[in-house]
Structure 1
Amino acid sequence: MSPDNSVPSSVPIMRKVLRWSLILMIAVAVVGGIVGWFVAGWSGVWSAVVAAAVVLLFTAVTAISIIFAAKLPSTYFMAVILGAWLLKLIAFVGVLAVVRAFDFTHDWMLWSTMLVALVGALAIDVVVVLRSRQPYVSEVDLPGPEKKQ
């Protein structure tokens, strides 16, 4: 009996989340940059771009860690997801501390663009998962006659 090399059902879903997140963050950076220009000039533009990039980075880390860990046993899967979450938490605080230390950002534009991008990313996650036609139970071997190969 050969090992099952099929793709776990979560992988296509996370790839779709990555694709739509990239599209959304480009749109958020463009629209936020335009609004930022009128609110605070170049510092508003850079704030919108940095906020969209940070949200894209952290959304991508989550999706990529799920894609990477999908074939691992459940203990290792949870370790990878927890490790990615802790890494994102530490990196988030570090990135924002560095960004706030520079004068090229506008606080209001940075936080408001980040909030819009986060809400959009969460909406993408919900819509993609709801439309995925995912069964209640997947990747389960049921007892019964052996499969012929």
Structure 2
Amino acid sequence: MSAPDADRPEAAPTPDDPLRPVLRRALRDMLVLVVAVGVVGTVVGLVIAGSSGLWGALIGVAVTLVFSGTTVVSVLRTTRSSATTTAGVVLGAWLGKMLLLMVVLAVLADRDFYDRRVLVGVLVVGALGSALLDYRAVAKGRVPYSAPGT
């Protein structure tokens, strides 16, 4: 007599979550954007405002990296969690980013070692570029509306 499970095929491994490649692409593209904005921003900052422009660009790149990367990483880390958990993590990350931004802006308010115009320029380019890259990753991603078997 054979074992009860001997004639049943093994369960097929579950496919990787289809959302993960979309999020990985968004994260990869965002990192490339941050590097490009960092290189261009520091060069332009140096030309426009000297060392204060360099510092403005570096601060802008750091803030852009934190803001753009946190949301994608939060969703990527919670793809296998419930929607409530994912929403809670994303909301918590957003609140943390806002608090961090307020602290950074309060600390930098009376400092003069950086150029504010370069900082704002880098932030605007980074935020708009990141939003466009996220949109492109989602629009080109192939994510089914429902899971197989449901």
Contact 1:52–1:113, Cα closer than 8 Å, also in 2? yes
Q: Is the Cα contact below 8 Å between 1:65 and 1:81 reproduced in 2?
A: yes
Flag the 1:81–1:101 CA change in 2: closer, same or farther, 3 A. same
Cα distance change on mapping 1:83 and 1:102 into 2, 3 Å: same
Task: Please list every run of 5 or more consecutive structure 2 residues that lacks an aligned counterpart in the other structure.
Answer: 1-10
Written as runs of structure 1 = structure 2, the 5 A alignment for 1:124-135 is 124-135=133-144
Aligned residues: 140
Where does the alignment leave 5 or more consecutive residues of structure 1 unmatched?
143-149
Pick aligned residue for 1:34 from 30, 43, 55: 43
**Partner SS state of residue 103, structure 1:** coil
Superposed displacement of residue 5, structure 1? 5.5
Q: Greater CA deviation, 100-109 or 65-74? A: 100-109
Output one character per residue of 1:3-52: Cα deviation in whole Å (capped at 9) or x when no partner: x7543222221111111111111111111111111211011011112101
After TM superposition, the score normalised by the length of structure 2 is 0.83
1:75 corresponds to: 84
> How far off its partner does 1:133 sit?
2.4
Q: Is the 8 A contact 2:18 2:142 kept in 1?
A: no
In the alignment, which of 90, 98, 122 is matched to residue 89 of structure 1?
98
Counterpart position of 1:139: 147
- Specify the alignment match of 2:73 in structure 1: 64
Matched with 1:118 is 127
1:106 aligns with 2:109: no
Distance in 1, Cα, partners of 2:149 & 2:82? 15
Residues 1:48 and 2:57 aligned together: yes
AA aligned to 1:141 is G
In the alignment, the residues of structure 2 paired with residue 20 and residue 46 of structure 1 have an alpha-carbon distance, to the nearest angstrom, of 24
Mapped to 2, the partners of 1:6 and 1:101 lie a distance apart of 53
CA RMSD of aligned residues (A): 2.0
- Taking structure 1 as the reference length, the TM-score comes to 0.84
CA apart distance, 1:97: 2.1
Q: Name which one, 1 or 2, has greater alpha-carbon Rg.
A: 2
Identity rate, percent:
34
